[in-house]
Amino acid sequence: MIHKIVIGILVVSLTSAIAQDGATLFKNNCGMCHKLGARLVGPDLINITQKRSKEWLNKFIKSPQSLIKSGDKDAVAILNEFNQILMPDQNITDTQINDILKYIEENSPQTSATNAPTQEPQKPEEPIISDKKAYASLVEKGAKLFDGRIRFQNGGPTCVACHNVNSYAITGGGSLAKDLTDVYTRIGDEGIKGVLSGLPFPAMKNSFENHPVTEEEAAAVSAFLRQVSKDSRETNPFDYASLLVWGGLPGILILLGIYSFIWYNRKKKTVNHSIYSRQIKSY
């Protein structure tokens, strides 16, 4: 009797250990970029096991890069949808992938594959700004950290070494990595802080692993990126094309006036007239 209970407890704790394993694996390997129920750096993975086959998922998770290179249509489409941000290849076993997929499945609402809801990408939550002045100085600090006018406390490289943003507040950045002008709109405060603390991209891991960005610094940079994406959505880019048309029009009219003045004399007799006289002569 006692034995049966002990075995029962063992089985229960074993299965919960496995379930937890999936959760932990997900959190540690995927959580900086993926969430269930919202998009972050990468797509929302809710119900993913209904959308894609296990086999495809296994291949994709191990090496998105090889699947994309092989020309797999779905993989290429997701890459394009996600602004060409490439998910790094994961050093992960089949069993670990199974555990992660099981965790995802258990934490996705049960729906049949055919009428799985097409998820509207959820907007990242906006933090509430209570003190506008403090916020403005946070944004300014973020801009200075971003382009190196203020050094990171732990000596990490400036963001402009690799990234650019479209903002008058900073001087031109690098093009090694993606432009971050609208990154806040896509991944939000949580996503940016997640990238800075989790360092899911190899290039950033190399740069910041031993020089972590502090929480305060991350908050400032995130506030700056929020402002940049807001500004770029609100300002109408100056319309050079119509300037050319409307600025050019008076010029063209003046030129036409000058030409018609110069040619005035020559036009007294029409072209037809000279042709007519030539033909008369040849008779």
Q: Which residues bind ligand HEC (CB under 6 A)?
A: 29-30, 32-34, 41-43, 45, 48, 52, 57, 60-61, 64, 75, 78-79, 82-83, 85-88, 90, 92, 100, 157, 159, 161-163, 176-178, 180, 183, 187, 192, 195-196, 200-201, 203-204, 207, 213, 221
Q: Which is nearer to ligand HEC, 135 or 185 (CB)?
A: 185
Cβ contact 103:16 at 8 Å: no
Q: For residues 8 and 109, which CB has a smaller minimum distance to ligand HEC in the complex?
A: 109
For residue 168, the minimal CB distance to ligand HEC (Å) is 18
Residue 248: partners with Cβ closer than 8 Å, 6 or more residues away? none
How far apart CA 67 and CA 59 sit, in angstroms, is 7
Q: Look-up: residue for tokens 């797509």?
A: 43
Q: Exposed (0-12), middle (13-18) or buried (19+): which is 197, by Cβ within 10 Å?
A: middle
Smallest separation (angstroms) from ligand HEC to the CB of 43: 4
How far is the C-alpha of 7 from the C-alpha of 10, rounded, in Å? Answer: 5
Question: What residues form DSSP beta bridges with 34?
Answer: 39
Decide if 112 contacts 124 (C-beta within 8 A).
no
CB of 185 to ligand HEC, least distance (A): 10
Smallest separation (angstroms) from ligand HEC to the CB of 236? 24
β partners of residue 39: 34
| Cβ at position 138, least distance to ligand HEC in Å | 14
CA distance linking residue 152 with residue 145, whole number of Å: 7
Distance (Å, rounded) from C-alpha 129 to C-alpha 250? 49
Nearer to ligand HEC, 150 or 177 (CB): 177
Q: Which is nearer to ligand HEC, 113 or 253 (CB)?
A: 113
- Contact (Cβ atoms closer than 8 angstroms) between residue 217 and residue 152: yes
* CB 176 within 8 Å of CB 203: yes
Minimum CB separation of residue 261 from ligand HEC in Å reads: 59
Closer by beta carbon to ligand HEC, 135 or else 161: 161
Q: Which is nearer to ligand HEC, 64 or 124 (CB)?
A: 64
Task: Using the minimum distance from each CB to ligand HEC, give the nearer residue, 216 or 239.
Answer: 216
Find the shortest distance in angstroms from Cβ 55 to ligand HEC: 12
One-letter amino acid of 153: Q
